[in-house]
């Protein structure tokens, strides 16, 4: 990929469980963002964490960032069937205008 | 509602027949992007415009060109589509998030089939 790898590639959980997906990237960044993509649609921005932050929360989402390991994780708590989608991390390097996406995690939440 | 609109949503072309995909935005964002996304893969940045300044990715084939005649519109031209160019093409724009970082707003995508 241009910038990052995500794991797992696919994740299947029961409704109500938590889902954790991980992202690793290659170079220094300004910030890291997570996006969601429903099948056959465009991506939607979920949450952003700056390079000087270690953890961020937004509703049922929790993001962590470890710049020493060049990695991030996205936790979705109390998952719902509507959370079924692909999730991508994106980094903007230091240029601020070029965004590169990780390989994505396909999440299936079983009702 | 302010948004990013891509047309057509589905495009079928023949091998070697030029195709143009369009993107319009009502957000007045100064940066516009084109990404290529093949099945079950990550979106791959092809190029972006910062205002009128064109920025090509080093690994984007010459077969892909872009035009931005004004702030609102951006076009992706594929001069001679090959079977390997079948993909979803995503247009995005960016603005400065309230904390100072840019985030992307995507259109719904244009799915290209090459016969």
pLDDT tier at B105 (50, 70, 90 boundaries)? very high
pLDDT at A94: 62
Q: Determine the average pLDDT of the residues in B82-100.
A: 86
| Residue A1 in this model has a pLDDT that exceeds 50 | no
pLDDT at A29: 85
DSSP string, B16-54: T--EEEEEEESS--SEEEEEEE-TTS--EEEEEEETTEE
* DSSP-derived pairing of the beta strands B110-114 and B10-13: parallel
**In B, which residues are within 8 Å of A30 by CB distance?**
101
pLDDT tier at A95 (50, 70, 90 boundaries)? low
Q: Determine the average pLDDT of the residues in A71-91.
A: 96
CB B115 within 8 A of CB B19: no
A71: enclosing H helix or E strand: strand A71-76
Q: What are phi and psi of A75, to 5 degrees?
A: -110, 125
Least confident of A21-35, A69-83, B16-30: A21-35
The radius of gyration computed from the CA coordinates of chain A, to the nearest angstrom, equals 13
Contact B109 A44 (CB under 8 A): no
pLDDT at A26: 87
Q: Quote the Cα angle for B10-B108-B29, to 5°.
A: 125
pLDDT (tens digit, 9 = 90+) per residue, B39-88?
989 999 999 998 899 999 989 999 999 999 999 999 999 999 999 999 99
Contact A1 B42 (CB under 8 A): yes
| Nearest-angstrom CA–CA distance, A83 and A77 | 10
| Nearest-angstrom CA–CA distance, B18 and B37 | 19
pLDDT tier at A2 (50, 70, 90 boundaries)? low
| Nearest-angstrom CA–CA distance, B113 and B115 | 6
pLDDT at A97: 77
- Going by C-alpha positions, the residue among B84, B87, B112 that lies closest to residue B10 is B112
| Residue B99 sits at the chain A interface (C-beta within 8 Å) | yes
pLDDT (tens digit, 9 = 90+) per residue, A30-50?
889 999 999 888 899 999 999
What tokens appear for A76 in the block?
Answer: 């979705």
The radius of gyration computed from the CA coordinates of chain B, to the nearest angstrom, equals 14
CB B60 within 8 A of CB B111: no
CB A19 within 8 A of CB A83: yes
Q: Determine the average pLDDT of the residues in B89-95.
A: 93
What tokens appear for A37 in the block?
Answer: 């993509």
pLDDT at A36: 97
Q: Which residue of B has its CA nearest to A50?
A: B101
Helix, strand, coil % in chain B, rounded to nearest 5: 5, 55, 40
B110: distance to nearest CA of chain A, Å? Answer: 9
| Residue B97 in this model has a pLDDT that exceeds 50 | yes
A39: distance to nearest CA of chain B, Å? Answer: 10
**In A, which residues are within 8 Å of B106 by CB distance?**
42-44
């Amino acid at each position: 990929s241009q910038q990052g790898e995500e794991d797992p590639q696919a994740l299947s959980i029961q409704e109500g469980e938590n889902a954790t997906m991980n992202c690793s990237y290659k170079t220094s960044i300004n910030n890291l963002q997570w996006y969601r993509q429903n099948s056959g649609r465009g991506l939607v921005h979920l949450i952003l964490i700056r390079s000087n932050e270690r953890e961020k929360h937004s509703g049922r989402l929790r993001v962590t960032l470890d710049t020493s390991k060049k990695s991030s994780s996205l936790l979705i708590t109390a998952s719902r069937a509507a959370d079924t989608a692909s999730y991508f991390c994106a980094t903007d390097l230091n240029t601020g205008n070029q965004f590169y996406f990780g390989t994505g995690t396909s999440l299936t939440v079983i009702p | 509602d302010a948004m990013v609109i891509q047309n057509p949503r589905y495009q079928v072309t023949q091998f070697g027949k030029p195709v143009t995909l369009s993107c319009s935005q009502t957000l007045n964002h100064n940066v516009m992007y084109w990404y290529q996304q093949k099945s079950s893969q990550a979106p791959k940045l092809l190029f972006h415009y910062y205002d009128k300044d064109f920025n090509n990715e080093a690994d984007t084939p010459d077969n892909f060109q872009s035009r931005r005649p004004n702030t609102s519109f951006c076009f992706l031209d594929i001069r001679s589509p090959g079977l390997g160019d079948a993909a979803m093409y995503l247009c995005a724009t960016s603005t400065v998030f309230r904390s100072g970082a840019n985030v992307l707003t995507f259109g719904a995508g244009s799915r290209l089939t090459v016969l």
